[in-house]
Structure 1
C-alpha cells in the first residue's frame, strides 16, 4: 500500500478570506510526496468552492465535508483517521507555511528517528505587511525524551509547529478533545509529547501564525474559553493525583500551575462573573491550589514576581509561602 511521506491536515470553516494563501503554500512544497486532507466543517460561505477551484487536477488534495458543524477537535480527529502518511503536519486554514517545510521536517525526523519534531513559527498580525519566510539555520538538533522536554519548555500548546509520527499517535491513542473549542490542542500536544521517546527541536522557522481581529486569542473571554480551561485543569489535576513518580508529579504540577495562572487571567476578563462556568472554574482552581499545598491568594494579592515563581516552580512557591506563614506567626 502506498504511504505518503507526510499527511497535511487542514480543518476549514468559513475561511474564504485566507484559504487560498494556505493551500497555495502547501501546493508549492519542494517535497511533493504528501497528501493534504481538507475537512470542511460545514462552512456557510464560499470556502468549499474556493478550495475545489484551487486544488483541481491535483490528486494529492482530498476534500471531505462534515455532515454538520462538529468543531475543530472532532474535525481534526476525523482527518487523522483518514490520514495514511508516515508523519502528520497540522495547518490552520488562515495560516501558511514556507516552501521547504515538508522537505526539511521530513529529512530531520527520519535522520534522527523522532516521534515528534518541533520547529519555529512567527506571529503575523492582520495589520502588518506580509512577506515570506525561508529561515533554516543549520546546527545540531537537541533530542530529549518527552517528559524531559516538558520540564524544560515554557509552552507546549500548539500542534501546528510540530511534525508528528503517525504510528506514535496511534500507539498511544492520542486525539483531540471533541467537546471543547479552546485548549483542545494543549491536550493533544501534551499527550503527544509526554509519551514520546524522542522529540527533537530544529532551528527552522517555517510556520506563519496569522492573527486577525476576529482570531480567538484576540477576542473577549467567552464561555468556550472557560469551558476549555476547566476541562484542562480537571485533566491535569487528576493526572497529578494519579502520578506514580516524582518526575511525573513535577510535570503535571507544572501544567496544572500554568492552567491556574491562565484561569485567573480569564476569570478577571470574563464577560459574566455570575455564570455557572465562571464559578466552576474558580472552584476547580481553588481545589487544584489546595491539592498542590498552596493556600489560595486572591489575584490582587499576588505580585508579579510571585506569579512568575508560581508558574515556573509550584514547589518553590509553596516553600516560600510556608516560610512567610511561619515568619508571620512571630
Structure 2
C-alpha cells in the first residue's frame, strides 16, 4: 500500500524472532486508526526476517532497516529508524508485543508536540500466549479473558495483569485511565514528536547493553528540556508474549546514566548527530 504522507510512523524493534513478529503484524492489521507507516528496525540482518517481510501481504507501507549484527546496538537501529521515518509522530514497540486494536488510535489521538506518551504492557503466561498465537483467543476478547482468568494467568506466571485491560475512556470507568500516571517510559510502548527526540539528539548510542538506555534514560533527558510524560495506561494496551528472558546486570548502564545526569547532559553526544 502507498501512503505518501503518513501521520505516524510505527517503529518495531526486532532481532531474530520472525515468528513473534508475524503475530505482531497480525495485530497491526487490526488497528482501528490506520494512517501510519510501519518501520521494522532490525538490530541485525537475518535472512529469514528479510524473506518474511518480502512476502508479507500488508495493507500498510513497510520499511525494513537492517544493520550488521555486532552485538546489542538497538539504540543505533532506532536512531536510523527515526531518520528514515516519513511521519512527525513516532510510535515505538517491540517485536514481541501484540497490540490492542485501538493502540495506534490513542497514540495519535492524544499526540502533542510538548508531551511524551507512554503506556505499559501485560506480561502473559505461556498458555495464554499460545492461545493468542494459535487464534484460540481473538485479541478483541482479551479483556474478557483477563478478567475471567485473572487468578489463573497470575498463578501461571502472568504479570501486570491490570495493564492488559482496555478501558473505554467515554464509558462508566473512563475516569480510571485519567487517574493513572507514568513515572518511567517503556521502550515497547511510547511515542513522541520528531522535534522532541531531535531536541535530546535521539537515543544515546553510548549504551552497549539492553535496558536503561532505550527508555529510562530518555525520561530525565526529556523532562530536563521541559517535556511532560502523559500516561496511556489502559488505553494503548499491548500484550507481551511469553518467552524466557535473559536478565543482565544493569550497573554499567546505570553508571553511564548517572555520569550524564551529574553534568545534566540532556542532549547526548552519540545520538542522531555525533558531537
TM-score, normalised to structure 1's length? 0.58
Q: Which has the larger share of helix?
A: 1
| Range with greater deviation from structure 2 (4-13 or 59-68) | 59-68
Q: 1:188 aligns with which of 214, 218, 235?
A: 218
Greater RCO, CA 8 A, separation 6+ = 2
Q: Does structure 1 residue 234 correspond to structure 2 residue 259?
A: yes
Over the residues paired in the alignment, what is the CA RMSD in angstroms?
3.2
> 1:21 and 1:178 mapped to 2: Cα distance?
32
Offset at residue 8 of structure 1 (A): 0.8
Q: 1:208 aligns with which of 239, 247, 261?
A: 239
In structure 2, relative to structure 1, the CA distance for the partners of 1:167 and 1:197 (3 Å cut) is: same
Matches for 1:261-272 after TM superposition, within 5 Å: none
Q: Does structure 1 residue 62 correspond to structure 2 residue 63?
A: yes
Offset at residue 162 of structure 1 (A): 2.2
Q: State the number of aligned residues.
A: 224
Q: Does structure 1 residue 169 correspond to structure 2 residue 200?
A: no
Matches for 1:30-179 after TM superposition, within 5 Å: 30-44=32-46, 46-54=48-56, 56=57, 58=59, 60-69=61-70, 71-109=73-111, 114-129=114-129, 130=132, 131=137, 132=139, 133=142, 135-138=166-169, 139=174, 155-179=183-207
Offset at residue 96 of structure 1 (A): 1.6
> 1:89 and 1:97 mapped to 2: Cα distance?
12
Larger Cα Rg: Structure 1 or Structure 2?
A: 1
Q: Hey, what does 1:289 align to over in structure 2?
A: none
Per-residue Cα deviation, 1:248-289 (whole angstroms, up to 9, x for no partner):
xxxxxxxxxxxxxxxxxxxxxxxxxxxxxxxxxxxxxxxxxx
Offset at residue 27 of structure 1 (A): 2.5
Structure 2 SS opposite 1:14:
coil
Per-residue Cα deviation, 1:1-30 (whole angstroms, up to 9, x for no partner):
953211111122111231101122123211
Structure 2 SS opposite 1:180:
coil
In structure 2, relative to structure 1, the CA distance for the partners of 1:18 and 1:191 (3 Å cut) is: same
Q: Which runs of 5+ in 2 are unaligned?
A: 144-165, 267-275
Q: Which runs of 5+ in 1 are unaligned?
A: 144-148, 244-330
In structure 2, relative to structure 1, the CA distance for the partners of 1:205 and 1:120 (3 Å cut) is: farther
Do the aligned partners of 1:74 and 1:178 also contact (CA within 8 Å) in 2?
Answer: no
